[in-house]
Amino acid sequence: MSSPTALGWSTCNVGGHACDLFQPSTVAAEGQAILYLHDLDGQSPRNLPPLQTVLEQAGLPVLAPQAPGSWWLGRHFDPFDPELSAEAFLLGPVLTECHRRFAASPPGIGLLGYDMGGQAALQLAYRYPDRFPVAAAISPAIDFHLGMQHGHEWPDGERFASLWEMFTEVEEARQETALLHIHPLNWPRHQWFASGPDDFRWHDGAVRLTSKLVALGIPHTALLDRPTGNQPLEAFAAEAVAFLAEALDKEARRLA
């Protein structure tokens, strides 16, 4: 286990699962941290240079747990953990670790996710808006059920096999998507998401999400018109992290 005072990137064990963490040399704001939820490839920010750079520049601690294939859902997925769902892992051991290492607790923890993790960041914010009022998602896989419906047509369709271990049919999975967990009267105060129009899998879901939020009068920021050339992290990482830092400061002032 790494030292709680180690600076830079290191790895620790949380509840039997590996987590990457970043401790800045200069902390921008006490009691604040970013919880990063990885994509379907399980990539940590420390291995994603565009994201790593902006996270380090933000001066905020980062905890990036690993939960491969789980989609970060509240569904049992034995290859991840025989007892805890990925969501329970985040709400329990991971939040405890954020407090222990960084003295950060909700609502001072901003959610940031990409792809699989992007939909999860929105999911958690919609399900628990009081705990997670700040969330940012890059290329969120909002309609992840399409991986079950069309995965066999996609070159890497086997990567969606874990969904069939958690759900028995496509409609069951659709009912768990972030779009269906927005409460019209109780929503995260700060939400941001971005999806390039060249993202053939997930862009339509992001468009439908912003349409629903607009119809409900829910404030949010959505960047949906910028082509990314299949490089969404390069296109959106800086704006996502800047949004999180500003929103966490607003929350801190609100509670002061």
Q: What is the mean pLDDT of the chain?
A: 94
**148 lies in some domain:** yes
Q: How many domains does the chain have?
A: 1
**1 lies in some domain:** no
pLDDT digits (tens, 9 = 90+) for 200-231: 999 999 999 999 999 999 999 999 999 999 89
**2 lies in some domain:** no
- Owning domain of residue 167: 8-255
**19 lies in some domain:** yes
Indicate the pairing of strand 17-23 with strand 190-194: unpaired
Alpha-carbon distance of 246 to 241, in angstroms, equals 9
**3 lies in some domain:** no
- Can you give the pLDDT at residue 241? 98
pLDDT tier, 37 (very low <50, low <70, confident <90, very high otherwise)? very high
pLDDT digits (tens, 9 = 90+) for 148-200: 998 778 888 888 999 999 999 999 999 999 999 999 999 999 999 999 999 99
**14 lies in some domain:** yes
- Can you give the pLDDT at residue 202? 96
Q: In this structure, what CATH number is given to the domain that contains residue 72? A: 3.40.50.1820
- Can you give the pLDDT at residue 152? 79
> What's 85-117 look like in SS3?
CHHHHHHHHHHHHHHHHHCCCCCCEEEEEECHH
Contacts of 50 (CB under 8 A, 6+ apart): 233, 234, 237
Indicate the pairing of strand 62-65 with strand 109-114: unpaired
DSSP H helical ranges for the chain = 49-58, 86-89, 95-102, 116-127, 146-150, 161-166, 170-174, 203-216, 232-255
**80 lies in some domain:** yes
Which long-range contacts (C-beta less than 8 Å, at least 24 apart) are formed by 251-255?
A: 251/107, 251/108, 251/133, 251/134, 251/189, 251/190, 252/29, 252/31, 252/32, 252/108, 255/107
